[in-house]
Structure formats: C-alpha cells, structure tokens
Amino acid sequence: MPAVSETREAVEKLAKSNYEWGFETNVEMDLAPKGLNEDIVRLISARKKEPQWMLEWRLKAFRAWQEMSEPNWAKIKHPPIDYQDAHYFAQPKKKAGPKSLDEVDPELLKTYEKLGIPLHEQEMLAGVEGAGQKTPVAVDAVFDSVSVATTFRKTLAEAGVIFCPISEAIIEHPELVKKYLGTVVPVADNFFSALNSAVFTDGSFVYVPKGVRCPMELSTYFRINARNTGQFERTLIIAEDQATVSYLEGCTAPQRDENQLHAAVVELVAMEDAFIKYSTVQNWYPGDENGKGGIYNFVTKRGLCKGDRARISWTQVETGSAITWKYPSCILAGKGSVGEFYSVAVTNGHQQADTGTKMIHLAPDTRSTIVAKTISAGKSDSTYRGLVRMQPKARNGRNFTQCDSLLIGDQCGAHTVPYIESRNMSARIEHEATTSKISEDQLFYCRSRGFSEEEAVGLIVNGFCREVLKELPMEFAVEAQKLLQISLEGSVG
C-alpha cells in the first residue's frame, strides 16, 4: 500500500524535526525537569496547590500508566514517542515560541488571513512569544473580551451554573470533583487516559444543577477563551436531572502548539432527562506540506447517560493534527437514554486519522445514532472505527449507523471498521456505508455556474457533510463550512 508507506515516511521525517517545536524547546524558567516519574507528578500537584486526595489519585494513575503500553490497534503509524524526553510541567507564560510572525510557516499565516483573524489573534494562535500571555487559564480575562467574559460569568452564576478551570474546581468544589472524576473514564482505561490522569494541568469543569437550562451556549463563552488549550486537557461536565447544556471546544483557526503530543480526557455525566451537547471543532496544526511540525492528538472522550432518558450528543469536525486517535463514546446506562455521534473528519496532505465512536447500550429502550463523514484528500489516510454493543439488558435497543467516505484524488485512503456486538435478540442495529468521489461532472457543473474549482469542492464537501454540520451551534456551522473548504485547498487539479 503505497499511500501508507509514504505517510509513514513523512511521519518519520516529521519525527526527526519535531525538536524544533516540541519536546526540546529551550525554556528558561519555571519548568519541571524532563521526564516522568512520581516526583514530577508530586510537583505538578504541589504547584496546583491540590489537596492530598488529588495527589493520591494522580499517583494511582501514574502507577497504572507505568504498567501499560501504547495501544497499537489503530490504523496509524508514528515513530515511538519517548515519554521521558518531555517536560510535564511548565508555566504557560514561560513557553517559548517563534519570536514574531516572521518565523511562522507562511502557509499557516495565509490560512489565518482567509479566516479573517486579526493580527494579534494570529500571534496568539501561532504561539508567538509574548502574545496574549495574560491568559493562564480558560476562564480568566482575555485580551479584548474582558468585559464580555465578566458578563458571561455573572449570567452563569445567577443560573447556578459552575463553569471554571478544573484546577479551580478541585479546590473550590472538591465534593463534586471527587464524586465524578474518573467515573466515566477510569484512570486506567487506556494508556493515554492514564497518562492524562497523572499529569493533567488544565481543562474545564461544568456543573449544571437540577432543572437548569444553561442560559448560554458555553461555546460563545469558551470561544474567546479557547486559546490556551493545553497538552493534557481534562474536562468534566455534569448535568443534573432535567439540566441542559451545550458546550463547544476548539477553534476553527489552526492552532499551533510546541507540544507535539496531546492527550485530553473528557468526561460527561448526564442524569435523568438531562441533555449534554458537546461540539468540537479541532484544527490543530497538521504540519507543513511535508507533514513537519504536526500534532499527535490522542483523545479519550466518553459520556455516561446515567439517568433515565438522558441524552448525550457528540458533534465533531476534525480537520487538524498530523495524527488523530479519538473515539467519543456514550454509555447508555439509563433506561431510554440516547447517544448521538455526528462526525466530520477531514484529512489532507500526510494526515492520519483513526476516529469513530462507541455506543454501549446497557439498558432497555436505549437508542443511538451515528453519522460519520470521512473526507480524504492528498496522501492522507482516514479510518472510521465504530463499536455498537447491545448488552443483554438492552431490550429494544436501537442503533442506526451511517458512514460515508468521500475521496478526493487517488492517493488517499478511507476505511470503515464497524464492530457490532448484540447480546439481546430484540435489539436492532442498522448500518449503512457509502464511498464516493467528487465527480468531474459535479465540478464542471458548479464551475459553469461561476464557482471556482476550490469553491466547487467546498460546496460539494459541505453538501456531503450537511447532516453533521447542522448539528453544530449556528455560528460555528458557518465557520466550519469555511474551514472545510480551506482544509481542502490545493487538493484537486
């Protein structure tokens, strides 16, 4: 398979050069020594002024991690990651980056321009030293938006919604964090979640009390603050009975980070009749045209529909990263609970993505819907991997899965790997899959109506993804459309 071997070659090259952006960055101060051991875990916990129980939790995770090894079942290839050759704690303000925009990949800057991002924000996104450095955590004030952020915070507080950095929640709301952290993704769930549990330093905490409909899209709020997503993000969202919340992470603009390895963990807990909508627009830097400098993104996201009729909906648009390993999942434990997964994964250039979902039906009358759209262009390789499991008690469980792949060019690959396990005779599982190419006929038709070739590709791709895009919060749907087009530029002709 030539596409795969070429990709591997590219990633090997990438590995040789990653020191420029990654693990070897020369940072002067307030940086833990390289390597990962119990002392580092203790140091992180101490720096965060965490209570003893949290430290013990981390140490437990660390010990578990030491016994584990990297998963190798995904259809991705990368050179071995040396986990001892990295720093696990650095004050964000001391991070080193390019000195000015002049040192940043010009292609990246062009993209910013196309997205219409103002210059000072471009600097922040590109990680230029000194840009936007007063923003150590998500909730704190950010550049132009201080007053907006404060207003938002007040509105949320009046509704009784807690929305703060997880490090703050550990100190301010220990009873809630203790009760839920690690209950959906156990520390030793997998190699990357164990690593995250040991060393996470930031992330968000959301708690929506009983009967409260969160008064705003947390997207609106989060967006202005989204610049400092860290290497080992940890997010915990809890919706009590009849509570509703919509949360959006990420940013349509390509974000650069000197940390090559990202391993986030997101846990969602939905109680009776609660609804959590979690949307992601992921556009981490995929590397330059040779794949250099791209991010490895290994994410564990899982939602627990704990109460009856609870509903969790994941929507994701994934266009960035050199490597994406990600399977947002739902555990349907409450009777009649509902899990949804809507995904668009775009790979171009030398990107590799292995992504999908797991729907675990534990209770009667549970329903799940999976709509996965995969778009591959260039020399990229994309795999949809999905598991639907009906446990013996999942009487009348229902799943509908639709996987569509769109290929652009003839050097890319798309693969669909569905796993179906049904242990209940009354459960019904439907699976549909299609693979198509953008046809010359479609392109010519659009162009004869005045569209440029790239606009035509964007139009067709957006049409292909429509069912997923319409699940995104309004303002993001528009940006995501633009993003899809930009991600695929240069992929035809």
Partner 1 sequence: MSDFLKIEGLKAQIDADGTPKEILKGLDLTIPKGEVHAIMGPNGSGKSTLSYVLAGREDYEVTGGSAHFKGQDLLELEPEERAALGVFLAFQSPVELPGVNNANFLRTAVNAVRKARGEEELDAVSFLKLAREETSRLSMSGEMLKRAVNVGFSGGEKKRNEVLQMRLLKPSLAILDETDSGLDIDALRIVADGVNSLRGPDFSSLVITHHQRLLDYIVPDRVHVMAHGRIIHSGGPEVASLLEKQGYKQFLEAAA
Window 421-440: contact mask with partner 1 (x via CB under 8 A): ------------------xx
- Is 459 a binding residue for partner 1 by CB under 8 A? The answer is yes
- Is 346 a binding residue for partner 1 by CB under 8 A? The answer is no
Quickly tell me which residue has 């969202």 as its tokens: 237
- Is 446 a binding residue for partner 1 by CB under 8 A? The answer is yes
Whole-number Å distance between alpha carbons of 180 and 175: 9
β-bridge partners, 239: 208, 270
Instruction: Give, rounded to a whole angstrom, the gap between the first and last alpha carbons of the chain.
Output: 23
In the complex, least distance from residue 469 CB atom to partner 1, rounded to whole angstroms: 9
| 212 vs 465, beta carbon nearer partner 1 | 465
Whole-number Å distance between alpha carbons of 337 and 352: 33
Q: Which residue of 421, 447, 475, 490 would you call a contact of partner 1, by CB under 8 A?
A: 447
Question: Binding segment for partner 1 among 118-126, 360-368, 376-384, 448-456 (CB under 8 A)?
Answer: 448-456
- Is 492 a binding residue for partner 1 by CB under 8 A? The answer is no
| 102 vs 440, beta carbon nearer partner 1 | 440
Question: Binding segment for partner 1 among 27-35, 66-74, 282-290, 457-465 (CB under 8 A)?
Answer: 457-465
Question: What is the 3-state composition of the chain as percent helix, strand, coil, each rounded to the nearest 5?
Answer: 30, 30, 40
- Is 419 a binding residue for partner 1 by CB under 8 A? The answer is no
Whole-number Å distance between alpha carbons of 259 and 282: 16
| 82 vs 455, beta carbon nearer partner 1 | 455
| 369 vs 442, beta carbon nearer partner 1 | 442
Whole-number Å distance between alpha carbons of 493 and 285: 24
| 70 vs 453, beta carbon nearer partner 1 | 453
- Is 72 a binding residue for partner 1 by CB under 8 A? The answer is no
Q: Which residue of 71, 130, 392, 463 would you call a contact of partner 1, by CB under 8 A?
A: 463
DSSP letter at 18? Answer: G
Tallying the residues shown for the chain, one arrives at 493
**Does the CA dihedral 116-491-285-341 come out positive or negative?**
positive
Q: Which residue of 465, 480, 483, 484 would you call a contact of partner 1, by CB under 8 A?
A: 465
Whole-number Å distance between alpha carbons of 24 and 338: 45
Say if residue 412 is exposed, middle or buried (CB neighbours under 10 Å; 0-12, 13-18, 19+): buried
Q: Which residue of 451, 482, 489, 492 would you call a contact of partner 1, by CB under 8 A?
A: 451
Quickly tell me which residue has 């490090």 as its tokens: 167
- Is 19 a binding residue for partner 1 by CB under 8 A? The answer is no
Using CB under 8 A as the binding criterion, the count of chain residues that bind partner 1 stands at: 23
- Is 43 a binding residue for partner 1 by CB under 8 A? The answer is no
Q: What are the structure tokens assigned to 259, written together?
A: 């940390």
Q: How many CA atoms lie within 13 A of 25 on its CB side?
A: 24
Interacting residues toward partner 1 by CB under 8 A: 439-442, 444-453, 455, 459-460, 462-467
